[in-house]
Structures are given as structure tokens and as C-alpha cells.
Structure 1
Amino acid sequence: MALCCPEAALRELQEPEVGGDWQFFLEISDGIRIYRLFLQESCLYEYKIYGTFPDCDPELFVDVYMDLKYRKQWDSYVKELCEQECNGQKVIYWQVKYPFFLANRDYVFIRERHDLDVDGRKIWVFVSKCVPGLSVKSGVIRVEDYHQTVAVESDGKQGTKVFMHYFDNPGGMIPTFLVNWAAKTGVPSFLKDMHKACANYPEYCRNSGK
């Protein structure tokens, strides 16, 4: 299973590709639609998300998405999040809080940013994927199978059009039904928090002296 390359993400922004075994999953109240694809080998799902943030400029959205320090302010599930050097390249270390009866998960991944101009359309594409490196912390489970592609452009008005393609296998002894339930609640919650974070970012920048 491989997620979108930048070229495929551009096509998805223009027209969603959710035929075949892709299933409509749910729609968030502000018009964001989520689709999922069942993966037989893991009994998990990968997800495609389409929608707009009608009151968020795309450059603002990109700034919020890229700002790791700010995410620690608005994402309550972040335990640790920082950029580090590993094997001669910059990687992102991300530890996620889990309920008290489960071990936290952490990720080591690279995030590629592509700023594109396609026939006058200004588009940003971000591709994230796990890489080996950094020692595993005691009591924390390392996620080794995580991919995310995000594509962003103007909606032609005052907002941002967004496409996301996402898969995450948390590993460990978590029942599959619980993983899929967490995705059903966690993905919409993250998008709503991201929307709110965009609205609050100018004030955060003023207060932090950015």
C-alpha cells in the first residue's frame, strides 16, 4: 500500500478518486467528506479526506500545518513534537498520548514540502513517511507504518481547499475495532481543532513575537 505522490495529490484536489473499493465514511458538519479503504492484510483502513476551510487563507493553513511549536499548543494529544537530526537528515519526532491503559506511540518521519505552480494555481503538497532511526523510548511503542499526503490550494474565494490521504498502523495489542473507532472520532476531531488553530494563529504569532 502506497500513498499519493505529489502528482496524484494534484489530481485528487481537482477531482476525488474514490471509485473501486473506496467507501464513503462520514461527513463533518462543515462539508469535509471522509472516505476509507479496507486493507485485508492488516484489517485496518486507509483514509482520503476532501473539503474546504472556508474562512482560512491557504498560506495561513500552510503556516499552521508547518509550525510544530504551535501544534503543541493546540493539539492535546501531543506529548512530544520536535525536529531532530538523524542519520544526516532532518526528521520529525512525534509522541502521541494514548489512554492510561495503553502505551503511548511515537513516530520518526520525514516531511517533504513541495510548493508548486500549476497553470497559475498555487498548490502546496506535503508528503510524510516513517523512516528508521532514533532509539525507542522505554514504555513507548514505535509506529513503523505511517504515511500522509496533504495537498492545499485556494478554494477560489477566501478559503482553503484540502485533500489528505492517510494511513497509520499503531501496532501493539490494540483491538482492530478500537483502532478503527479512534480513526472515526480522531480524524474529525483533528480537523476541527486544526480549523480552530488557523483562526487563532495570528494571535499566537503576536504573543510569541513571531
Structure 2
Amino acid sequence: MESSSPSFNNLITDLFNKPSLIETFVDILFFTVPIWLAVMIGVLIGWAWTPRWTSLLFLGFRSKLRGFAWTAPPGFGARRLWLAFTALSAFSVGRRMWSNFREKERKEEGDRADGESVSGLSADVKCSIVNSEGDHDVITEKDLEHLLHLLDGKDLVWQSMMERSTSNMACQAWRYEPETGPVVYRSRTVFEDATPELVRDFFWDDEFRPKWDPMLTYVKILEECPDTGTMIVNWIKKFPFFCSDREYIIGRRIWEAGKTYYCVTKGVPYPALPRRDKPRRVDQYFSSWVIRPVQSRKGDGLLTSCEVILLHYEDMGIPKDVAKLGVRHGMWGTLKKLHGGFRAYQTARKQDPTLSRCAHMAAIATKISFDGGSEMVPGDKNTGEPKDLVEEDEIF
């Protein structure tokens, strides 16, 4: 050990005695650190909402760096830094201009279509019908059986995620993580002083949905069947700034058994609507629920409340852990928006009972019955909870 220490010291001394190596190291350090600063400035300039002040900031930095670039020693690579900064800034500005051009082009295409894009909560989605004579077997009894299988939950281990309530709404949520595929979410929500028919119409009514769902920016009815109530709709949802928007082609249909409604929606292929680069289309999508009357929490024994059991999964093209974290932290806020939207819908229907096109289609359900003593809603008969439960693990 003692003999190795002097040799190491000699190596360091020889290294520092070579000016060319030191100059190269300093040049690399001087060149590398500011380039990341240039990248960050380029990103800010490219994505800024109001480019007026960023343009001034860019010009100020450029003038400062230009003076420094031509006075610094050539060995430090300052001129190369200036060229890199200019190239990155020009690239970000060009990207911004191209993005604006593509956005304008997409907007013009949307305006030519019969559907209307919406922004904010006050505007209504204008639903248009493209085809009423197409193939309407996109949602079949097999899809209903799949919903019943998930509701039964045999051999599925559910992790409890949330249990919250207000004076007129209560909610529980669970999740199941299969070895492959997206996470399956299950929730049970009870609305006080609500009827199953009104809740059914609320979930189906795409014209009213933007009033409480800020993510939905575009809706078009592609096909509908007046016999079975089957619909094919096109949705575009706005995602956070770090993700591109998502497009959905959704087939949906309702089955009715007594006062219980089985509402099935899933992603379906639709060759007549070509796939685009943006928004990104979500192919694997299943979101279905069971709506039925239940006794009120008031304890009067009356069926004046409505229970909604939701089963949902989709592959949004986002890493699974990131998606789980977003769902976990955003679930209660989303449910509060949904509940507020339902109460607003309840008030609007009292003031104007006229049904929208989507709500009218929701009333066209396929009647079914269950043989023998089989449960219409698998799971706990009183609470609708899944049979196999585990407490939530702290895995985030």
C-alpha cells in the first residue's frame, strides 16, 4: 500500500504537468456545462405561452454571449458554444412554428367535420351522426360476460385504494394488477337521492360531459343502432402538457335486467377513421359499470339511492407505475368533479326534461334475465365489494 501511494501521486503530478491535457479537460468542461443551459433556454423559448418576453430574453442572452464568444480564448471552445446555442434556439423556435402550423391544420380539418371541438366547461359538444346503417355487433354478449367475470372477481386479488364520502355521496376503490396488461380498477359509488335511469343517462350523455369533464375536447357519434341502442363514438381527450392527446373509438351498449343496468363500453376498430400520429389512439380500452337502486344511508329502508360499480382498464401508452401514481392521487378529485357534474345534470333535467341524442340512445337497452338464483351483481350482496380483498401496499 505504501509503494502504490507515491506512484499514484506521481501519476497525478505528471497529469497536471501536461498543459495540453489540462486545456482539453477545461475546454470540455467549459463546453459541456453551458450546453445544457442552452438546451433549457431553448426548451423554454420553444414552449413558452407568450413568446414576446422570451424573445427579448433570447436577444439579451444572445448579445451577452456574442460579446463573450469573440473575446474568450479560442482554446476554450466559446465559439462552438455560441454556434450550438444558436442552433438549439433556432431548432426550438422552428419546432414551435411547425407545431402551430400542424395545430391550425388539425383545427381546419375538425371544422370541416360535422363534430365540433370544445374548450372549457361552458361549451357543449355537438354530436353528429356519420352512419346509422353500419355493423352494430361491435358490442356483444361476450363483452357482457367479460364484465360479469370481472365483477365476480374469482381468483383476483384486489388492493384497497380509497374509501371516502360526503353528505350525499360515498365511494370505495380497488385495483387489481395482472401479470401482463394494464391495471384493472374497480370502484363502488353511491349517490343519495338519485335514480338508476338518471345516472345511466348522465354517464351516456356526451353533450353534457364537457361541463364536468375538462379532459374531453371532442366528440362525434360515428354510428348508432336504433334497435339495440349500440353506439360508436369518437372521443379526443386532452392530457397533461408532457403527453400528447389521446383518441378513442368507443363502442357502447346497455343491457337491462329489472332495475339494474349493465353498461358496457370498450375500444373498437374503425377503419373508416384512419389513425393519425397525433392524437395518439388508445386501442385497449374497457370501461363498464353496473347501475342499480340501493337503500339510502338515511336508514329508512327506501331504495332512494343509486349504486354504480365501475370496472375500468386501458393502455394509454404511459409507464404503468406513472399511471398508477396519477390515478391514485387524482382519483378523489375526479370523483368530486363527477359528483358535482351529476348534481348539475340532475338540476338541468328538472328544468328541461328534453333528452339529448345520447341520453335518448341510453334508454334503448337490451332486456335480459338471469336463470335461477344467480346474482345479478356478483360480489358482496349488500356492499358490492369484491370478494378477495387485501389492504393497499405502499408500493409508490
What is the TM-score normalised by the length of structure 1?
A: 0.81
Q: Tell me the residue number matched to 2:334.
A: 190
Match of 2:145 in 1: 5
Indicate the SS of the match to 2:321: helix
Unaligned runs of 5+ in 2: 1-141, 225-229, 296-302, 356-396
Inter-CA distance 208–129: structure 2 relative to 1 (3 Å threshold): same
Match of 1:28 in 2: 164
Change (3 A) 1:196 1:18: farther
SS at match of 1:5: helix
Verify the 8 A CA contact 2:156 2:176 in the aligned structure 1. no
Alignment correspondent of 1:114: 255
Q: Which residue of 1 aligns with 2:208?
A: 70
Task: Give the share of equivalent positions with the same residue, in percent.
Answer: 22
**1:115 and 1:3 mapped to 2: Cα distance?**
14
Residue 39 of structure 1 deviates from its aligned partner by 2.2
CA contact (8 A) 2:287 2:310 kept: yes
Contact 1:57 1:158 in 2 (8 A): yes
- Following TM superposition, by how much is the alpha carbon of 1:19 offset from its aligned partner in structure 2, in angstroms? 6.2
CA pair 107-148 structure 1, distance change in 2 beyond 3 A: same
CA offsets 1:40-99 (integer angstroms, 9 cap, x no match): 224x4111111311232222211211111000221111111231139xx84111111111
Partner of 2:222: 84
Q: What displacement does 1:199 show?
A: 1.1
CA RMSD of aligned residues (A): 2.8
Task: Tell me how far 1:110 sits from its aligned partner.
Answer: 0.5
Higher relative contact order (CA 8 A, sep 6+): 1
Q: CA deviation at 1:204?
A: 3.0
Q: Can you give the 5+ residue segments of structure 1 that lack an aligned partner in the other structure?
A: none
- Structure 1 pair 180–3 and aligned structure 2 pair: CA distance change class (3 A): farther
**Higher helix fraction: Structure 1 or Structure 2?**
2
Is the 1:124–1:151 contact (alpha carbons within 8 Å) kept by the matching residues of 2? Answer: yes
Q: Which residue of 2 aligns with 1:47?
A: 185
Runs of 4+ in 1 over 6 A off after TM superposition: none
> What's 2:304 paired with?
158
| Alignment check: 8 A CA contact 1:72 1:78 kept | yes
Contact 1:33 1:50 in 2 (8 A): yes
> Is the Cα–Cα contact under 8 Å of residues 217 and 236 in structure 2 kept in the other structure?
yes
1:146, 1:167 within 8 Å by CA — same for their partners in 2?
Answer: yes
Q: How many equivalent pairs are there?
A: 196
Secondary structure at the aligned position of 1:69 is classed as coil
Match of residue 93 from structure 1: 234
Three-state SS of the structure 2 residue aligned to 1:153 is strand
